[in-house]
């Protein structure tokens, strides 16, 4: 069904995180289909910066919040956002405000709508779509200081989506909103940019890979924001056991609060020279295809976008039995699912995959078919 061109405001966390990635990719895809996309964010979304894509239908509205000494501990960004949203709706005639994260984005959208209704009753009101990504529902949103307002924002939205069935269930349970219609729309990746050995010759591929591992070594990867919940230390523990069995290197992409502790652990376990902490990277689509395996041992993951990104590059994933992971990874078919903290289980799975070329090949090819099917259904 062809949808007439719409004017869509998109708000997301622009500095980091899978939710911003999904929001950006959605905006880009909608723009290529002729819709006018208006990002209303504090800065241009990080995946948009330097992206070689057609920006014809993409617009950006920067949310500037003042830094006033009186608000030393609480710059009221959500109010500045509501103001900018209302302006964008009035000026551009936006049909939809699609917000990623209930807190604070959904609340700002609600306020914007109220402002327009009160001041400009002739302006048609936008539809508010809220996409829940996880932390807003499973952690911050259920903190008692935010719970009632988050529930209110979800209930006031015209449409609510979650990135996995597991997250929908948590939203129903945590907020007791059983009468709210929540649609599950799984995260997705753009297979034109996430693909095995992306448009690169064997020579170019080997050259790039040699920066991170020797040809005789397997390359294991983890992508995270180094928050405690990501359990990067488990990856290092597993890796330290694995290299006593087979030659390998570990590439840790990302940065955050646990990075120092992780570096310390790698030193303590005597594997620091085999672990590369490469920080935040803009060229993740080039790095992921270099890996043989991704390990994501998170304590919670409403979806686990990094697993899907790696899988789209034919890299099998070892993940934990939490949140949305089991909706993406099929145990022993396109990856392996272990319990949280099961270092021995993850080590065994890693050795089984990396030490057996046939197993690795079979997981990779199964995964490609399943992932492609999963994406094509969207
Ligand atoms: O996991 C984070 O710390 C970042 C957060 C975000 O804002 O991107 O991730 C959440 O949303 C992603 C995109 O939908 C999901 O892939 C992640 O699983 C989810 N994180 C958690 O549920 C902890």
- From the CA of 187, give the closest atom in ligand 1: 14
300 lines ligand 1 (CB under 6 A): yes
Q: How confident is the model at residue 203 (pLDDT cuts 50, 70, 90)?
A: confident
Express each pLDDT in 180-196 by its tens digit: 999 999 999 988 888 88
Task: Reply yes or no on whether the pLDDT at 372 is more than 60.
Answer: no
3-state secondary structure the chain: CCCCCCEEEEECCCCCCHHHHHHHHHHHHHHHCCCEEEEEECCCCCCCCCCCCCCCCEEEEECCCCCCHHHCCCCCHHHHHHHHHHHHHHHHCCCEEEEECHHHHHHHHHHHHHHHHHHCCCCCCCEEEEEECCHHHHCHHHCCCCHHHHHHHHHHCCEEEECCHHHHHHHHHHHCCCCCCEEECCCCCCCCCCCCCCCCCHHHHHHHHCCCCCCCCEEEEEECCCCHHHCHHHHHHHHHHHCCCCCEEEEEECCCCCHHHHHHHHHHCCCHHHEEEEECCCCHHHHHHHCCEEEECCCCCCCCHHHHHHHHCCCCEEEECCCCHHHHCCECCCEEEECCCCHHHHHHHHHHHHCCHHHHHHHHHHHHHHHHHHHHCC
Q: How confident is the model at residue 369 (pLDDT cuts 50, 70, 90)?
A: low
Express each pLDDT in 323-359 by its tens digit: 999 999 999 998 999 999 999 999 999 999 999 888 8
pLDDT at 378: 46
- Cross-sheet strand order for the sheet of 218-223: 275-279, 248-253, 218-223, 293-296, 317-320, 335-338
225 alpha carbon – ligand 1 mean position (Å): 10
- From the CA of 20, give the closest atom in ligand 1: 8
pLDDT at 68: 72
Residue, of 219 and 70, whose pLDDT is higher: 219
115 alpha carbon – ligand 1 mean position (Å): 31
Q: Whose CA is nearest to atom 2 of ligand 1?
A: 17
Q: Looking at residues 119-134, what average pLDDT do you find?
A: 93
Q: Whose CA is nearest to atom 20 of ligand 1?
A: 301
pLDDT at 377: 47
17 lines ligand 1 (CB under 6 A): yes
pLDDT at 40: 98
327 lines ligand 1 (CB under 6 A): no
22 lines ligand 1 (CB under 6 A): yes
- From the CA of 16, give the closest atom in ligand 1: 8
136 alpha carbon – ligand 1 mean position (Å): 9
Q: Whose CA is nearest to atom 23 of ligand 1?
A: 301
Report d(CA 87, CA 116) in Å as an integer: 9
13 lines ligand 1 (CB under 6 A): yes
Q: Looking at residues 125-148, what average pLDDT do you find?
A: 85
The predicted complex's ipTM stands at 0.97
Q: Helices 165-175 and 147-156 sit at what angle, rounded to 10 degrees?
A: 120
**pTM for the full model?**
0.92
**Which domains, and CATH codes, for the chain?**
7-184 (3.40.50.2000), 202-376 (3.40.50.2000)
- From the CA of 306, give the closest atom in ligand 1: 16
- From the CA of 101, give the closest atom in ligand 1: 7
Q: Looking at residues 55-59, what average pLDDT do you find?
A: 93
Q: Which of 192-206, 255-269, 306-320 has the lowest mean pLDDT?
A: 192-206
Report d(CA 242, CA 258) in Å as an integer: 22
Express each pLDDT in 209-223 by its tens digit: 999 999 999 999 999
- From the CA of 17, give the closest atom in ligand 1: 8
Q: How confident is the model at residue 376 (pLDDT cuts 50, 70, 90)?
A: very low
163 lines ligand 1 (CB under 6 A): yes
């Amino acid at each position: 069904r062809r949808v007439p061109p719409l004017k869509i405001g998109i708000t997301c966390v622009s500095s980091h995180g899978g939710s911003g990635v999904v929001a950006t990719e959605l905006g880009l895809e909608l723009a290529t289909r002729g819709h006018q996309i208006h990002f209303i964010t504090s800065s241009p979304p990080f995946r948009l910066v330097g992206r070689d894509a057609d920006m014809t239908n993409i617009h950006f509205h920067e949310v500037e919040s003042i830094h006033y000494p009186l608000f030393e501990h609480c710059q009221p960004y959500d109010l500045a956002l509501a103001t900018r949203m209302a302006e964008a709706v009035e000026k551009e005639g936006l049909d939809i405000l699609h917000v990623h994260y209930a807190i604070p984005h959904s609340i700002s959208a609600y306020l914007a709508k109220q402002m327009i209704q009160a001041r400009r009753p002739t302006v048609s009101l936008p539809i508010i779509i809220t996409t829940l990504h996880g932390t807003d529902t499973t952690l911050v949103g259920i903190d008692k200081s935010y719970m009632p307002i988050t529930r209110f924002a979800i209930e006031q939205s015209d449409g609510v989506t979650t990135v996995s069935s597991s997250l929908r269930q948590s939203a129903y349970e945590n907020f007791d909103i059983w009468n709210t219609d929540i649609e599950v729309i799984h995260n997705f990746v753009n297979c034109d940019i996430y693909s095995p050995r992306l448009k690169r010759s064997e020579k170019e591929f080997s050259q790039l890979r040699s920066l991170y591992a020797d040809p005789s070594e397997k390359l294991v990867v983890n992508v995270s924001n180094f928050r405690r919940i990501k359990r990067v230390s488990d990856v290092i523990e597993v890796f330290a056991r694995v290299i006593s069995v087979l030659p390998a290197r570990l590439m840790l992409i990302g940065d955050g609060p646990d990075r120092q502790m992780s570096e310390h652990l790698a030193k303590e376990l005597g594997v620091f020279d085999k672990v590369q902490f490469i920080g935040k990277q803009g060229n993740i689509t080039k790095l992921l295809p270099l890996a043989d395996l991704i390990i994501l041992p998170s304590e919670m993951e409403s979806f686990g976008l990094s697993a899907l990104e790696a899988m789209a590059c034919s890299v099998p994933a070892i993940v934990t039995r939490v949140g949305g992971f089991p909706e993406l990874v099929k145990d022993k078919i396109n990856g392996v699912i272990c319990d949280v903290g099961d270092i021995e289980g993850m080590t065994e799975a890693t050795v089984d995959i990396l030490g057996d070329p046939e197993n690795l090949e079979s997981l990779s090819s199964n995964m490609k078919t399943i992932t492609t099917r999963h994406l094509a259904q969207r």
